[in-house]
Amino acid sequence: MSAMLEVRGLTKHFPVRRGVLRRQVGTVQAVTDVSFDVNEGETLAIVGESGCGKSTIGRTLLRLLEPTAGTVSLDGTQVMDLPAADMREMRKRMQIIFQDPFGSLNPRMTVAETLAEPLLLHGLATSSDVKGKVDALLETCGLQPWHAGRFPHEFSGGQRQRVGIARALATRPRLIVCDEPVSALDVSVQAQIVNLLKDLQTEFGIGYVFISHDLAVVRHMAARVAVVYLGRIVEEAPVAELFATPRHPYTRSLIAAAPRPDPAARKTSAPVEGDLPSALNPPPGCAFHPRCPLAEARCRTERPVLRPLGKARVACHFAETAPTTEAAAENPPSEALTRRLQVLEAARQKENT
């Protein structure tokens, strides 16, 4: 059975132009040769450092940014080949939840106007029944019908994000890209939003591409995780396997970088050092080699291929011989991630009682 969403070789490069004549003097390689699948009702998380290309992947597969190369197929339909009129129809099936709910909502429009707009635009409601459908959307997302008359500035951050989710849900999409939807919220509110997203997924069978840097939320939310470094996927695996036996050095460094709740607790391995290289001039060979503790001469000249390794895919020359179970036992993602997971779960249980 084919996946609901199939992404193959997705690439997005931005030209750098300077001078009066705006000549191209370079290229920012934001995303290069990214491929993955998402099944119906499944969550694929995309994680990595700030600036690694996570959000660009999400926006490009929705064609909010036009890709440089690659294909995206949703339920067998090639998204990148669609003309403008057909793409508008496709947008009913592909939606996005933005990181900043206040910035993504029109401050001059009430919630009723915000939610009615996609319903009327796509012919999913008429002027006579749109109010009832707006009220139903609000109730589905944990708000009340009387909230419809309010403006965005009259809500809390969590309530605004619920409005953003309701707007994305209005067209009953097959796929929603969640671009760090809880990163700006308090932990208790994060749990409420994660709980809501999971409930909506169960009810409507929505597939999520969940972009985040919070590993605890990712572990709580996702079925599979793709780790991105400098615009490329370096590891993809089921969530339990990735946290138990991370195979790429960068994945292990992300887990090691998670803060400990006890400042006095010592880490058995150090997180990755140095800064993310420039996408304008990426390193030759393996892009991670300037920061990798396992790098050898081969890594500096030969780019590793993303290849299958058990249930995972890993782009590392030494993935088979790199420490896995032993490293996880010595430096588990336990304290920080377990504590965050406990807080999330406690908040979910409190909300449900």
**What is the SS3 assignment for 252?**
helix
* Statement to judge: residues 166 and 279 lie in one domain: no
Q: What's the CA gap between 27 and 309, in Å, rounded? A: 32
Judge whether residue 39 has pLDDT over 80.
Answer: yes
Residue 13: both structure tokens together = 């490069």
Assign residue 139 a region: left if phi > 0, alpha if psi is -120 to 50, beta otherwise? alpha
Residue 263 confidence (pLDDT)? 57
pLDDT tens for residues 291-309? Answer: 988 889 999 999 999 999 9
The pLDDT mean for the chain works out to 86
Residue 349 placed within a domain? no
Higher pLDDT among residues 209 and 270, named by residue: 209
Domain's final residue, options 226, 255, 277 = 226
Please give the span between the terminal C-alpha atoms of the chain, in angstroms, as a whole number: 39
* Statement to judge: residues 24 and 71 lie in one domain: yes
Q: What is the pTM of this model?
A: 0.87
Residue 26: both structure tokens together = 């370079």
* Statement to judge: residues 210 and 66 lie in one domain: yes
Domain count within the chain: 2
pLDDT tens for residues 330-346? Answer: 444 445 555 656 666 66
* Statement to judge: residues 215 and 249 lie in one domain: no
* Statement to judge: residues 64 and 114 lie in one domain: yes
* Statement to judge: residues 110 and 48 lie in one domain: yes
Residue 238 placed within a domain? no
**What is the SS3 assignment for 129?**
coil
Residue 237 placed within a domain? no
For residues 335 and 215, is the Cβ–Cβ distance under 8 A? no
Which residues neighbour 180 within 8 Å (Cβ) at sequence distance 6 or greater? 55, 99, 211, 212, 213
Residue 345 placed within a domain? no
* Statement to judge: residues 145 and 172 lie in one domain: yes
* Statement to judge: residues 248 and 191 lie in one domain: no
Q: What's the CA gap between 88 and 333, in Å, rounded? A: 43
pLDDT tens for residues 186-200? Answer: 777 888 888 889 999
Which of these, 4, 98, 48, 32, lies nearest to 236 by C-alpha position? 48
* Statement to judge: residues 92 and 218 lie in one domain: yes
Find the helix packing angle between 187-204 and 334-352, rounded to 10°.
70
Query: Region 104-132: what's the mean pLDDT?
Result: 91
* Statement to judge: residues 222 and 285 lie in one domain: no
Q: What's the CA gap between 353 and 341, in Å, rounded? A: 18
* Statement to judge: residues 260 and 182 lie in one domain: no
CATH code: domain of residue 133: 3.40.50.300
Which of these, 63, 185, 120, lies nearest to 164 by C-alpha position? 185
Percent of the chain with pLDDT over 70: 86
Higher pLDDT among residues 102 and 133, named by residue: 133
Which of these, 122, 59, 63, 130, lies nearest to 89 by C-alpha position? 122
pLDDT tens for residues 43-57? Answer: 999 999 888 999 999
Which residues neighbour 121 within 8 Å (Cβ) at sequence distance 6 or greater? none
Domain span at residue 287 reads 243-340
| Amino acid letter, 318 | F
Domain's final residue, options 175, 196, 226 = 226
Residue 353 placed within a domain? no
Residue 268: both structure tokens together = 């058995």
